[in-house]
Every structure is written in C-alpha cells, then in structure tokens.
Chain A
Amino acid sequence: MIYRILNIAWKDLLHLWHNRLLLILVIFGAATELLIVGWATGAPVDDLKMVVVDNDQTAISEGLIEHLRQTDTLKLNEDGVDVFDNHDNEADAVHDLFTGGNFIFNPDNIMLIEIPAGFGEQLKTGQQPAIELTLNGANSLASTTARRVAEEEIYKYGTVIMVQHTFSGTESTAPTEIQILTQLEQTQPDITVKYNEELDRAHYTAPSEAAFVLYIIAIMIAAFMLAREREYGTFEQLLVMPIRPIEIIIGKAIPALLVGYANFLLVLVEMNVVFDIPVRGSLVLLLALAAGYLFVELGRGFMVAMVSRTQNQALLIIMLVAFVDITFAGYAVPVESMPRIMQLLSNLFPIRHWMIILRGILQKDVGLDILWPQLLWLMGLGIIINGITLWFFRRSLTRQE
C-alpha cells in the first residue's frame, strides 16, 4: 500500500518539477504577496490632507491651525481654501475638495475644518465655540483617523487656551501649556493594549494573509493536480490499475502537502523577520496542526477537481469558494462582529479554525488546552470532506462518460 502511495506521490512531484516555473511563481509569489500586503496595510495612516477655513483670523485660531499642522497624521492643504472662491455654494466646494484627485501624487482631501468668527474670544471666555468638521466619507479609514486626531488636538488646544485665560490667579502662577497638558493627560483613563501593543494593522493582516496563502496553495495545487489528470484522460488509467482510491488521494496529497508546507515555513520566517511577529506559542504544535489542516484543505481541493470538467472550471470554482471561505474565516473582519448566524456557519469552514489556531499560537501562546475545539472541528471536517471525496472517486469508477 505504501509503495503505491509513494509511487503516485513521486509521479506528481515529477509533474511539479517539470513545471518548476509554476512552482517558483507559487511559492515566492505568495511570499511577496504577504510582504506587500503587510507593508501596505501596516503603513501608518498619515499625511491626510485637510483644509482649514479660518473665519476668525486671530492668534488663537492660527495657533490651533499650527497645532493641527504639526501632527504627523494631518497635512495642511493651504491651497484648499482657494477652492471656495471658485464655487457659489459650500456644498459644491466641498465636493470639489473631496473628489477629483489621484491616489499617487495628489490624493483627495479627507477633512474640512471650519473655524467660526469669534472663535478666539469665545474660547478664552469659556463660551464653547463651535467648530465644523466635515469628513470625506468615501474614504472611511482615513476620515475616521483624521477625525480622531483632529478632535484630540482641538480638545487639547482648547483646554490649554481656556484654562490659561480663565485662570484666576497671578501671572506667575499661571499654568504653562505643558502643565495643562500633563494634567489633562493624567486625567485620562489607563489603557493597556494586549497582544499588539502598537495597534499595528499589519499584526492583523499579516497573519490573515499568511493563513490565506497556506489555504489557497493547498486547495489550488490539489485541485489542479487532479483536474489535470481528469481533463487529460489519464485519470482513467489510474482507475484501471490495482490501486485503491484512497491510495490515490493520499499519494496526490503528499506533493501538495510538501509545497504547502515549504511555503508555510517561508511565510513564518517572513513574518518573524519582516513584520516582527514571532511565534509566541509552541512552534511544534503549530507545525503539527498546520499539517493536519493541510490534509483537510487538500480534501476540499480534490473535491473541487472531481466536480469540474476542466482546470479552468476548477479555478473558477475555487475562486468562488475562496471568497466565501475567507469571509467566514475572519480574514478582513473578525467573525465576532458578524451576524450571529454567520458566526455559527463559520464553524463549517476549515480555514476559520486554522485562522484561530494560527493567530492563537502566533500572537498569544495558547496551547492545545485552548485550541482543542479547533482540533476537533478540523478532524471532524477532515473526515467528512475526505469521505465525500473518496465517494466521488469511487463513483467515477462507474460513471465514465
């Protein structure tokens, strides 16, 4: 039995070897993908363009503008004010400011701040002047970030000015800006961030991408290796040989496993070195669970191949399946934030459990004591999926076209 399995595995490895170009594309392409994605999503959101209309024109308002300008996140677009002159009404002007740019050299403005006349006076006397913030809702991440930063700066600056001017004491005991800010700082609640102290988005997206990469390689290679046999007609040959269907599956799984694994190791190294996401938990456990997960996913790949007539079809099916899979896996949005029914359904997807495992071991240091439900699910799903695939195999013995 083992001999026959190894025979099939060796043949498929030869196929891969003869298609070296593809293999290299696959492994390094995926790794590069991870790099780019992590890099792009981990980039700090800064230099967001804002336009400030200062209807007050006092030292106070200018001071505010200066503070806003000095944040890393916000970038003052001084020409923006002129745009107002070109339009009759504010709505048009805003539309103009928020659209029409290009993302390379001249991105759209994200925020418009309007400082009312009398701002300085009102602030000094504690009369709570109103500031209008208009955000570019088409760019939600940027506008949310811009808003947070602007609100914080305005609040801090406003507090400083107000306290300084409403202070009822002598000149020499008047608090300085630093003092006021420090005090303000002290009155903020204590916040501890665990597991991703810098709130680096790449810490979320890089493992997502890594998990996805392993998933897609496994399922694609499995599907292709089988779909190609079926499309070229050599599958029939296999069925005539004294080999059991299960031996065929295992034999074909081995090369896919090897490639997937190699890729996974590369990705782990990459995450550690480039993104500073080491494996906090047990590496051995991770590798073992990765192998187990691969088997399940390979089964799905084979299943797709059995229902497709051509490789092209197999690809298209995998595409659709992949989109559904990664949705339920929590790739871009955490599963906990999804509607309840989707949370329940997500358990049927192997990649969901894999994502949990990968994140858990990478970022926390969880062991089998916490991950055992995932293991159970994977085993259960694996048996069912591979069982169905085997059934397809056996059925093809009797349903040749």
Chain B
Amino acid sequence: MNQRHIYAIAKKEWLHIIRDPMTIFLLAIGPVLMLLLISYAMATDITDVPTVIYDQDQSDLSANLVTQLDASDVLNVTDHVNNTTGYEDQLEQRKARLVVIIEDGFSDQLTTTQGLESIATSAPRFSFVIDGTDPLSAETALETAVNISGQFVRNQLNTLVEQPQTETAMLPEQRQRLRQQLRAPVDIHTTNRFNPDLKAIWDLVPAMIAVALVLPGMSISTVIARERSQGTLETLVATPISKHAILMGKAFPYVLIALLNVVLMYIVARAVFGVPFRGNLLVYFALSGLYVLATLAIGLLFSILIKSIEAALWASMMFFLFPGMLLSGMFFPVDVFPFIVKLETLELPVVSGVLINRGMFLQGVSVKDLWWNILLLLIIAVEGFEIAGRLFKKRIA
C-alpha cells in the first residue's frame, strides 16, 4: 500500500470533516461533553431516598430511631403518616420509595421485661415497605434502613444489659441470654479493593469513556454511502489507489480525532472527577488507539454493506449506541449475562473498551492482564479492515 495514497485520501477526508464545523464539534467535543454531563448525572451514589414514617408507637424511643434514620445519607425522611392509606398513596405517587412502620409496642419491647423476653423469639416491632421498581436503589435503601434499625435495637439492649442489677427488672438468666444474643457471631471486615469508598463515579467514568469513543465509529459508517450519493465513489475507485489504502486513508482522520478525545477525556476524568489512574499512560493510549481502530473497522463495514445513508446510520446506532449503554458493562456486569448474550457481545468492541478503561484506571492492570480483550480488539480491527477491503472490491470496484 502506497503511503502517499493513504495520505492523500486521509487529507481529503480530513477536509471533509473540518469543513463541516458541526461535525467537528460533535466528534471532537461531543464525547467529552457527554462524559461530563452523563457522569455527573448518572454516577449517583444512592442518597436521599424519600422515606415516609408511620409511627404507631409515638414514643421517645421511636422518635430517636427516626432521627437516626434521617441522619443517614442514604435516607431522607420526607413525611409522617397516620394510617396505611397515607403511605400507600405516597408510594403510588412516587413521593416515597420506602416506608418505615414502627409498630405499637416498639418501646415496650425494649424497656419492659415481657418485651425483652420476646426479643429472642419474635419479629422486631418495626417493618418496611419498599418500592421495588428500581431494585438497585431499593436494595441499598432497604439494607441501610434494616441496618440502622437493627443497630438501634442492639444499642438499646446493650445499654440495658450493662445497667446495674438494681435498676432493671431483668433476671440474671435473662441478662445472660440477652448478652449472648447481642453478640454478633463473627466480626466481618470488608475492604473494597480498587474503589474503597465505593464511589459510583469511579465506577462510571472509565466506562463512559469507552462508550463515548464509539462516536467516531458511528460517524464513519456513512462515509462510503455519502460518496456514493454524491457520485464521487466511482471516480475514487477509478484512481490507482488500492481499496485498502482508501479505507485506511478514510479512517485515519477519525483515529486522530478519537485520540484527541481520549486525551481530553483522560484529563476530565482525572481533573474534574478525580478518578485515579493506576495503569501505564502510554500503554493506555496505545490500547485506546486499538479500541478506536476496532470500532472504526466495524463502522467501515457498515459503511460498505449498507447502501442508504439512513440505514447505515441507523444500523451503526443500533449496534453501537443501544447496546453500548446497557450491555457494555457500564451498569450491569457482562460476566453475569446469559451465555448467548455474552457471545453476542463478543463483536462489540465497547465491552472490551469498558474493561480496558476500568482496568487501567481503577485496577492498574498491565497488558498481560488484558490480553484477552486486546486479542479480541485486534481480531476485530484486523479482520474488520480485511473484510471491509474485500467487500469494497467486490461490491463497488
């Protein structure tokens, strides 16, 4: 392949792109913009879940519990109700997502002898109703509420247990039993490797970089169709430039723009979002280049296979964008997908892109650890270009 040829085509394609300020804006700044906007909006740690209290007990103790619940970042007590319809309405209107019902007898259970007796064998005098529509936040909210309530009760009992015998109506055996119950069997220390504070933004931003980088791939999916519609395709093909050279030349400016994007997004991730980067910067850029090549290869394939511009755009959108969001591994881990779906994702460079980004930012992996994804991208890129070239010859030349 003649280098000058490739350069000539690349230059022409470059001019096409930069003469259209809109496209340049979208391709060069669009991904960064997307990164900023979406990460800011979506990387939300679950906080301020609207919670409604139905306090049947109305005691100092129950009020205390409510205060503690409200003090948590995760929950936000918005209202108190007096009956069941009260909270059911709120649930229906989405004003509340969690309802904490403190039953009559709550404080009795924690202060009187009979109450204490029953602790060992009966359910606590509080219950919960949760809106399960969004399971992810529901589970977190629930877990928090259950933990806080449980801890509250344990603290109460601990205080009781440590009171001098004279001030409590408890029998020594009771005290003993209580002491036992209060003791957690095991002390579990949990550390989160790579993301110790469980910051959602650390989780999301690297993945979002990969998703945002599919834009060049999508944009390239129309280059051939556009030349076709303008009638310049035949002229291009009549030149002595080889088909592979044409494709490479066309892809070249997109690669450059994409790499520019990578730099910009890296800066944003580090400076604006504070995401740590633990890998090797040079390796990262190299791998990003590979990733972009893979997406461009597929984009080019679409470009050649699909005649009409709209169909090309639509197909590339369905291939890159729709699955990109939910199947990329950004929100739901790919490894738990059904096997068949996993197979489908093999063709999606974005999945590897997400893993590479997460790996380099959070995990500090080296090439060795990413070999599988690298191989995948390499195959996609090389085979993609190869097939694109052959199809180009067959269909057009």
Contact = CB atoms under 8 A, between A and B. Distances in A.
Contact of A309 (B22, B38, B196, B332): B22
Contacts of A209: 326
Contacts of A205: 326
A160 to B, nearest CB: 8
Interface string A98-110: 1111111001100
A45 interface: yes
A226 to B, nearest CB: 12
A201 B341 contact: no
Interface string B102-132: 0000000000000000011111101111111
A334 B142 contact: no
Contacts of B397: none
Contacts of A101: 372
Interface residues of B, number: 117
Contacts of B91: 194
B226 A154 contact: no
B192 A320 contact: no
Contact of A98 (B193, B200, B371): B193
B369 interface: yes
Interface string A38-69: 01110111111000000000000000000000
B129 A142 contact: no
Contacts of B314: 22, 25-26, 29, 220
Interface stretch (B61-69, B215-223, B247-255, B383-391): B215-223
Main secondary structure of the interface of A (DSSP, over half): helix
Interface string B40-53: 11101011111000
A169 to B, nearest CB: 12
A141 interface: yes
Contact of B203 (A126, A140, A157): A140
Interface stretch (A76-84, A285-293, A335-343, A377-385): A335-343
Interface in A199-214: 199-201, 203-205, 209
B22 A308 contact: yes
B171 interface: no
A331 B130 CA distance: 20
A186 B119 CA distance: 10
A186 B318 contact: no
Nearest to B136: A201
A10 B120 CA distance: 74
Give the residue among B37, B142, B184, B336 with the most A Cβ atoms within 10 A. Answer: B336
A131 B189 CA distance: 6
Interface stretch (B158-166, B256-264, B291-299, B304-312): B304-312
B214 to A, nearest CB: 9
Interface in A141-162: 141-143, 147-148, 151, 154-155, 157-159, 161-162
Give the residue among B143, B191, B226, B370 with the most A Cβ atoms within 10 A. Answer: B191
Interface string B307-326: 01111011101100111011
Contacts of B370: 100
B333 interface: yes
Contact of B341 (A36, A162, A198): A36
A166 B180 contact: yes
B203 A128 contact: no
Interface in A92-128: 94-95, 98-104, 107-108, 123, 126, 128
Given A99-B365, A366-B92, A311 B26 contact: no
Interface stretch (A243-251, A295-303, A322-330): A322-330
A326 to B, nearest CB: 8
Give the residue among B30, B44, B49 with the most A Cβ atoms within 10 A. Answer: B44
A265 interface: no
Given A46-B336, A126-B180, A228-B310, A161 B185 contact: yes
B394 interface: no
Contacts of B341: 36, 39-40, 43
Interface of A: 19, 21-22, 25-26, 29-30, 33, 36-37, 39-41, 43-48, 94-95, 98-104, 107-108, 123, 126, 128-143, 147-148, 151, 154-155, 157-159, 161-163, 166, 183, 186-201, 203-205, 209, 220, 224, 228, 308-313, 315-317, 319-320, 322-324, 326-328, 331-334, 336-339, 342, 356, 359-360, 363-364, 366, 370
10 contacts: A25-B315, A37-B327, A98-B363, A103-B345, A158-B184, A201-B135, A228-B310, A319-B30, A334-B134, A363-B133
The 5 A-B residue pairs with the shortest CB-CB distance in the complex, in nearest-first order: A158-B185, A137-B195, A196-B132, A102-B372, A137-B194
